Structure 1
Amino acid sequence: MSDQLQKEEEKLSRIETEINDIDGHITNIKTGNLSEESDELAKLLTENTKLKFRLEILKKAIANERKNCKADTIPSEMISIRNYLNELFGSAIKAAYPELSDPPIVITESTKVSFGDYQCNSAMPVSQLLKAKNIKASPRDVAVKILENLPNSFLINKTEIAGPGFINIFITNEYVVSAISTILKNGVFPPTTKKMRVVIDFSSPNVAKQMHVGHLRSTIIGESISRLLEFVGHDVLRLNHIGDWGTQFGMLIAHLEEMFPNYVKESPPIADLQAFYKESKIRFDNDEEFKKRAYDRVVKLQSGESNSRKAWQLICDVSRLEYQKVYKALDVTLEERGESFYQSRMENLVKELNERGFLEEDEGRKIMWGIKGEDYGGIPLTIIKSDGGFTYDTSDMATIRNRIEEEKGEWLVYVTDAGQSTHFKSLFSCARKVGILDSSKVRVDHVPFGVVLGEDGKKFKTRSGETVKLLDLLDEGLKRSLEKLKEKERDKFMTAEELRKAQENIAYGCIKYADLSKNRQNEYVFSFDKMLDDKGNTAVYLLYAYTRIKSIARNCGEEFIKNFDTIKKETKLELTHEKELKLAKVLIQFPDIIEKILKDLHVHYMCEFLYQISTTFTEFYDVCYCIEKNRQGEIVKINKSRILLCEATATVMAKCFDILGLKTLDKI
């Protein structure tokens, strides 16, 4: 904004204030039953008329100044186009209608090329707001006035009003070329955002119990969200809140003592911890004497008795080895922090809640209600059980306190199944009630997900009705992906190492993508046949597409590849064909997709974007020749600009894959 324009807008604001003051004074005189012909009233009315006349002249001058002012220069980095247009049109609407305190700014992507690239659909809601103030203005009139106040911009080539007041926005080719050039020069960078300390809780298996598909979803979704948050520059603490405390350890320790009495000196052979857990659970349910010993071991464990602690550590170590295999296969990084970590914190918290009067008796339990009037499901937290023990509710209260007060978390994220939604509403409400959580300072998100179904439409289980072991599931994925590669005879053109790498990347990638590509709040059907399909919105199709795009530059020959960095610097990017422009305009939406996901943590938007890139690239590649050859198969022409567009496409796709946790391949 120019200095002159800023001064004129300041003057406009002063005049509006004067008019409001005079209007108020006139109202006071009239309500005081003074004659409307009084000298003071006549003087005020005259002054008001002059000011309003000056105001209209000034508004026209500002509108002309806005139209004539030089457009901003094209930024050297990619921007969120939607955010930029929100600010630009927001400024225009406020200038056109200063009487509206919070005017609606509605920017959408256009559905047809003839409608431009984006649309501003604010005219109709603004017209309705004006109508409520007894100001008549049709949506089309509002659209005209918005455009009169719209500053020139590097981004906008032209605007046009369609229908009753829709404003079609056409972005400049210069910005599109600049943004693609930035990708080629610097790679893909996130939009600028305020950096925060984020604590994300995901995966969270229970010690001595096998990880199931619910843990798989939490792990895959949590890892992808963590990668996204780290990409935009947040300080992310990834926590694995494992269940390593409580009654089940009493029965496990008691069973261990009987089965392997020398466990303190010799490590017991309990590799199959799931079977060991089932044995102890049967005894716990059917043997009263054993149950008493189990409860006794819980007390000893929580009091720090050395042998009980030793047994507990052995069990945790064996369990940890199992779920680390899953994390290694899926390339997941987590910092383990089990319930045991919060034992002393739970004790201190319960004491404080008691002293401050937040707990109430309920049939031997001590419970806590959320804030009255808040929608938290109307279910209290159970802080102390009737036997005096703590619960998951207790540990979760201690956990949220630790993450805010000790870890200095500014954004807390919990990735669990949708069945826990009510629990988290109650947890957050109780945390606000006691002053642990200040929602104006700390953002909290529960990221719920639906259950995984088998192809029969029921909960995903083995044929015998058992929960599917994750390691078995991953092994089955490896087997199926290898069969698929051999079916396509890829094994005949790959080394053993290339084949192994392709097998793993496809197997794990297809499992991840099948999950992430669905709206996480919905159920989804687990089907290897659909996951490994090389058509449609699947990981296999997209990984193949990426590999094919990367091969285009290689097909230009060794000399081209050797000089590729120089070619990128010296080649002028030209986007003249409509399919070139269409592809480029899709690619530069990357910052918008990042911003969109950050709002509600729905990662499937990234998958939709990847698929859109791939299908748009196919349209481009079908009609825009990158390499031309003669009948002998010799290269006669290389369209360097289009090769660069291919490279930019691969660069954006690679970053999307990385955020989703998928590994790309140079050869499939």
Structure 2
Amino acid sequence: MSDDNTKAIEARTIKAEKEVKAIEEELDKLIKGDLSYVSDPQLDKLLTENEKLKHRLAILENAIKAESSQIVKREPRKRPMLITNINSIEGTLCLVDELKNIFTIAIEAAYPDLEDPPVVITLSGNNPKFGDYQCNSAMPISQLLKAKNIKTNPREVANNILNRTPPSPLVEKVEVAGAGFLNIYLNRPFAEHVLTCILKYGIKPPPVKRERIVVDFSSPNIAKEMHVGHLRSTIIGESICRLLEFLNHDVLRINHLGDWGTQFGMLIAHLQDQFPDYKTESPPISDLQAFYKESKKRFDEDEEFKKKAYSCVVELQSGNPDFIAAWKLICEVSRKEFQKVYDRLNIRIIDRGESFYQSRMVTIVKELKEKGLLEEDEGRFIMWGSEERTGIPLTIVKSDGGYTYDTSDMATIKQRVQEEKGQRFIYVTDVGQYNHFATIDACARRAGILTGDLKVEHVGFGVVLGEDKKKFKTRSGDTIKLIDLMDEGLKRSLDKLVEKGRDKVLTPEELRKAQEAVAYGCIKYADLSHNRINDYIFSFDKMLDDKGNTAVYLLYALTRIQSIARTAQVSTEQLIQEVEKSGIKLTHEAEWKLGKVLLRFPEVILKVSNDLFLHSLCEYLYEISSTFTEFYDKCYCVEKDKSGNIVKIFYERLMLCEVTARVMTKCFDILGIQTVSKM
């Protein structure tokens, strides 16, 4: 705020204080005056005036508070730092952020009295005559000015902004168009420099403030096989972790395993009956799912076994070493089965079961009781997310004194805030758990665990459907196991590769790598390319289609791009040498169009890191591939004669091919999809 503005606010404040004082004196006269001889009409009039004066007094007092807070709290706006020299750029630059900086300066210079004016930067669309980006701030600013009784129109506002737009090496020109749009045309030398930097230094992440982020995903239950229901959480969670790690965040990948509870009583009891020497000899429990079903059947049908199971739970929770050993054995067998899935899908995750939080649950219950946040309800203790008691409360202690998932989740968030020092907490589960995590957030905030900007972020997803649009299951109605699903993917991907004759041109090792890349890539991409909130239909036929926005098409596209320089017998080292000589040049319109798409990589990454909708990254990957095809159709990279001999190599275009391949490879890496050089 300028000194003149500050003085004006101070003057208005002094004036308001004088008016308040005068009104107080008038009110005092009315209140202290002898009203016994005043007629009813006069009294009504005086009382009405009294109410009006009170109302005016309140308005002025609020005005003083507002103006005073502005004097004390409003700080001068920090002028954004602009890039003034192209050569200062060596890493990845987010174009939208830099354009926002440019137009923030322009708008604040044009309208200094507007507080936090909107700075709206968007892509212009496919028509180059509208520029590459647009600043669409003129219309909302015009509305703000009209609210202040300042006559204007969006086009006049746009011209005022244009006249104060600082020069930038990123921008060739800015033009006012239509009702008040500011069309922004990018500077080609800037784009050429950034793409050349990618060749020289690799793809660097856009700079962000580093955070400690906890991502809770996958989370199967011990003694139960992973099924298709765990597929989405595992795939989405892995990709979110990769994205945040690329941005240099400190990411803690947590597998919140269901490894505690009454079901372990029946499992331990069954283990003791079936394998009495389990303490000295490791029992051959290869099919843990069958073992679980057997114990559950006995639990449901045999009263004596049920009593034994309950006694085993008591022994386990009291820390009996023999029962702890049995529990650990069952957990270890289960974890090994989970790891087979994680290894095949290339998932990295840290197991941390509910058992980890047992002592912490005791502590959180005690703390919540001491703070008076729990109330008794038919023998149980519940906690509301707000004092108004709206929504559904958490059940912190059951009527039998036991704990629940709610207790575990409250202990978990406390541990992640206070011990892990997390700053962002992401939970990847189905959309049905949205209300649960909203309540966890509210209760943790009410308990003082979550403060300020700390919050629980629920990344919800829909269910996987079969081609009949019902829940994806086997013909017998059983849930499909993930291992079986992946085996089927491997079989079908090999069939697809053989159908295309790839087994004739690839070595056995290359064929195996291609088979795995296609099988697991198509499963992941089919999931990630859909808006995660929606249900999606699982169809191997659609996944393995080599046309359209599929993993198969995009993986083929990438290998074709990588093969262009190989066909021309140009090594990466030779390309780097050529880069040092001339750098990338975007002279043809198809080159320029592709270059601009590649420049958008940082803004796409930052968008996805905020909203965690990974289908945006998939759409961008498909856009790169489509734009590259257009470029390749119009621009020779290698010119050959009729005999197939190389006549001329266009090194600058080969450089553009290499940058395209690098950006696509990085996108695939973030999505958790393995790429291959030959397919």
State if a TM-score over 0.5 links the two structures. yes
Aligned-partner SS, 1:238: strand
Q: 1:146 is matched with which residue?
A: 161
Match of 2:140 among 125, 130, 134: 125
1:71 positional shift: 7.5
Q: 1:573 is matched with which residue?
A: 584
Residue by residue over 1:517-551, the C-alpha shift from the partner in whole angstroms, topping out at 9 and shown as x without a partner, is 11111111000001110000000000000000001
Aligned-partner SS, 2:449: coil
Residue by residue over 1:609-634, the C-alpha shift from the partner in whole angstroms, topping out at 9 and shown as x without a partner, is 10000000000000000000011111
For structure 1, which runs of at least 5 residues remain unmatched after alignment? 1-9, 34-65
2:397 is aligned with 1:408: no
Q: 1:451 is matched with which residue?
A: 463
Aligned equivalents of 1:236, 1:298: Cα separation in 2: 35
Q: 2:661 is matched with which residue?
A: 650
2:6 is aligned with 1:17: yes
Counterpart of 2:6, as a letter, is: T
Aligned equivalents of 2:481, 2:630: Cα separation in 1: 42
For structure 2, which runs of at least 5 residues remain unmatched after alignment? 23-78
Identity, % of aligned positions: 61
Q: Does the 8 Å contact 2:438/2:456 carry over to 1?
A: no
Aligned equivalents of 1:425, 1:227: Cα separation in 2: 25
Counterpart of 2:267, as a letter, is: L
Instruction: Provide closer, same or farther for how the CA distance between residues 21 and 661 of structure 1 changes in structure 2, counting only shifts above 3 A.
Output: same
Q: Does the 8 Å contact 1:554/1:561 carry over to 2?
A: no
Instruction: Provide closer, same or farther for how the CA distance between residues 209 and 152 of structure 1 changes in structure 2, counting only shifts above 3 A.
Output: same
Aligned-partner SS, 1:563: helix
Match of 1:617 among 624, 628, 632: 628
Aligned-partner SS, 1:204: coil
Aligned-partner SS, 2:84: coil
1:572 positional shift: 3.3
1:373 positional shift: 5.5
Aligned equivalents of 1:479, 1:542: Cα separation in 2: 20
Q: Does the 8 Å contact 1:432/1:439 carry over to 2?
A: no
Aligned equivalents of 2:417, 2:449: Cα separation in 1: 8
Equivalent residues, number: 619
Aligned-partner SS, 1:507: helix
Instruction: Provide closer, same or farther for how the CA distance between residues 439 and 561 of structure 1 changes in structure 2, counting only shifts above 3 A.
Output: closer
Q: Does the 8 Å contact 1:241/1:338 carry over to 2?
A: yes
1:32 positional shift: 10
Q: Does the 8 Å contact 1:70/1:152 carry over to 2?
A: no
Q: 2:244 is matched with which residue?
A: 229
Q: 2:563 is matched with which residue?
A: 551
TM-score (norm 1): 0.90
Q: 1:304 is matched with which residue?
A: 319
Match of 2:449 among 419, 436, 444: 436
2:407 is aligned with 1:394: yes
2:254 is aligned with 1:239: yes
Give the RMSD, CA atoms, in angstroms. Answer: 2.0
Q: Does the 8 Å contact 1:571/1:640 carry over to 2?
A: no
Residue by residue over 1:464-502, the C-alpha shift from the partner in whole angstroms, topping out at 9 and shown as x without a partner, is 100000000000000000000000110011111111111
Residue by residue over 1:398-447, the C-alpha shift from the partner in whole angstroms, topping out at 9 and shown as x without a partner, is 1111111001111111111111111100111110111111142x243111
Match of 1:493 among 491, 505, 514: 505
Q: 1:504 is matched with which residue?
A: 516
Match of 2:114 among 100, 103, 116: 100
4+ residue runs of structure 1 moved beyond 6 angstroms?
A: 23-33
Aligned equivalents of 1:498, 1:308: Cα separation in 2: 48
Instruction: Provide closer, same or farther for how the CA distance between residues 616 and 420 of structure 1 changes in structure 2, counting only shifts above 3 A.
Output: same
Aligned equivalents of 2:388, 2:561: Cα separation in 1: 56
Aligned equivalents of 2:303, 2:593: Cα separation in 1: 72
Aligned-partner SS, 1:383: strand
Aligned-partner SS, 1:366: strand
1:29 positional shift: 8.9
Q: 1:283 is matched with which residue?
A: 298
2:91 is aligned with 1:80: no
Residue by residue over 1:242-296, the C-alpha shift from the partner in whole angstroms, topping out at 9 and shown as x without a partner, is 0000011011111111222222222222211111111111222222322222111
1:363 positional shift: 1.9
1:31 positional shift: 10
1:15 positional shift: 3.1
Q: 1:188 is matched with which residue?
A: 203
Counterpart of 1:585, as a letter, is: K
Aligned equivalents of 2:574, 2:322: Cα separation in 1: 67
1:14 positional shift: 2.3
Q: 384-393 or 329-338: which moved more? A: 384-393
Q: 1:52 is matched with which residue?
A: none
Aligned-partner SS, 1:412: strand
2:435 is aligned with 1:422: yes
Q: 2:44 is matched with which residue?
A: none
Q: 570-579 or 118-127: which moved more? A: 570-579
Aligned-partner SS, 2:613: coil
TM-score (norm 2): 0.88
